[in-house]
Amino acid sequence: MARQKVWRSRVGGSDTATAPHPGTPFIGVDVGGTKILGIVTDGITASIRDRVQEPTPKNPERFADGILAVVGELLDRVPGVAGIGVGVPGLVDHAGVLHYGPNVQGVLGLDIAGQLMRRFPLPAVAENDGYLTALTEHRLGAARGHDHAIIVTQGTGIGGGLIVNGQVLRGANGFAGEPGHMLIDRFGHRCACGRVGCWEAVSSGAGLANLARDVAAEGKAPGILTAAGGDPAAIRGEHVAQALAEGSPEVEEILARFSWWVAQGIGSLIALLDPSIVVLGGGLSAIADGFIDQVSDQVTDAIVGGRHRPVVPIAAADFGPEAGAVGAALRARDFVING
C-alpha cells in the first residue's frame, strides 16, 4: 500500500486502474555493479523490443544519473511507454528506496523511483535485483509452476529471491531474500559487505576466486597462478573459467571446494524454506556445467534428514544476463495495474 500512496501522490493515479493494452511497452532496467542494462518489453513476456547498455557510474553521486540516462534514451526511442521498473543490487524498501548495496558502495538512501517519477511523467518502481530475477524465473522460467522455490544468482556476488506460497517473499521491510550474506564460515574469507564468512565469499564469482587463491597458495594450481601473473592475489573467477574451458585438471580441486560450499548454503535454505526446486542463475551459469552436478550430489548430505525427504532438484536458470531487466519490466506492468 505504501507504494500505491507514493505513486498516486506523485502522478495522480486513480483507484480504478485498468490493465494496459497487451503490447503496451514497459521499460525494465537492471543496475549492476559494472553496467546498467535497460530494455523495453510488453511487461508480460521476455520479448525484447529495444535495449540500451551503459557502464555504471563509478562515482556514487552519479549513480542515479546513469539510470536516468538509460531510461531517457529508451523513452526517446520507443513511444507509448506506460511504466518503468528498475532493479538495483541492495536493500530496497517498500517505497523503492535503496538503503545500501555492498556492490554499489557509497549509494545510500537513494529514492530511485522518486527521481524517475520527477524526471519522467510515468509510474516508476524500484526493487532489489534478486527479487526481479526471481519474479522472471517464477513467472516465465525454470521455477514456473512452483509455489515454493529458491532462486540464487551467482555473479560477482550472490543475489536471490524466495518464492513462498506463489509470491516472491518481501519481508517486513522489503529486504527478504539476501542469502549471500548468511554467515557460513566464521573463519572464512572477507565478503564485499565487509564481514568475514558470508556464503557469498565462497559461493559467488568472487568466492570462486577466493577458493582458487587458496588452492594456488597451496601450490595446487600452478597453471592458474601463471595465468594470473604469478600473484595468487591477482587470481580472478575468469582465470578459473579459462582453465575450465581448457580442460585443465587444476580446476577440479577448486570446483570441488566451491561445490561443497554452494551445497552447504543451499542445504540451509532448503531446511529453512522446504522448496520444490532450487534455481541457480547469474554470471556463473556460463560454467555451471562444471559444478551443478556436484552441488546436486552434495545437497542431500547438507540438509537435515536429507535421505528421508524428497530430492529437491537443482536446476539452471532459464534466463541469463537479462533476467533482472525482464523482471523489472514485468514489475513495472504489475505496478501500473496494482501498485
Choice between 73 and 185, CB closer to Zn ion: 185
Closest listed residue to residue 117, CA positions, set 79, 81, 83, 88: 83
| Closest distance to Zn ion from the beta carbon of 284 (Å) | 17
What's the CA gap between 53 and 250, in Å, rounded?
Answer: 35
Choice between 130 and 141, CB closer to Zn ion: 130
Choice between 198 and 228, CB closer to Zn ion: 198
Closest listed residue to residue 314, CA positions, set 288, 284, 285, 277: 277
| Closest distance to Zn ion from the beta carbon of 156 (Å) | 12
Q: Give the alpha-carbon dihedral of 198, 203, 204, 210, to 10 degrees.
A: 80
Choice between 157 and 290, CB closer to Zn ion: 157
Cell numbers placing 11: 502522478
| Closest distance to Zn ion from the beta carbon of 193 (Å) | 3
Handedness of CA 249, 254, 255, 257 (dihedral sign): positive
| Closest distance to Zn ion from the beta carbon of 71 (Å) | 30
> Beta partners for 158?
154
| Closest distance to Zn ion from the beta carbon of 160 (Å) | 13
Choice between 185 and 318, CB closer to Zn ion: 185
| Closest distance to Zn ion from the beta carbon of 298 (Å) | 22
Handedness of CA 56, 57, 60, 62 (dihedral sign): negative
Secondary structure element (H or E) that encloses residue 133, with its range: helix 129-140
What's the CA gap between 43 and 122, in Å, rounded?
Answer: 15
| Closest distance to Zn ion from the beta carbon of 128 (Å) | 15
Residues binding Zn ion (CB under 5 A): 181, 191, 193, 195, 198
Choice between 4 and 105, CB closer to Zn ion: 105
Cell numbers placing 103: 556492490
Choice between 136 and 264, CB closer to Zn ion: 264
Closest listed residue to residue 311, CA positions, set 267, 281, 268: 267
Q: Give the Cβ contact number of residue 263 at 10 Å.
A: 23
Handedness of CA 3, 7, 10, 12 (dihedral sign): negative
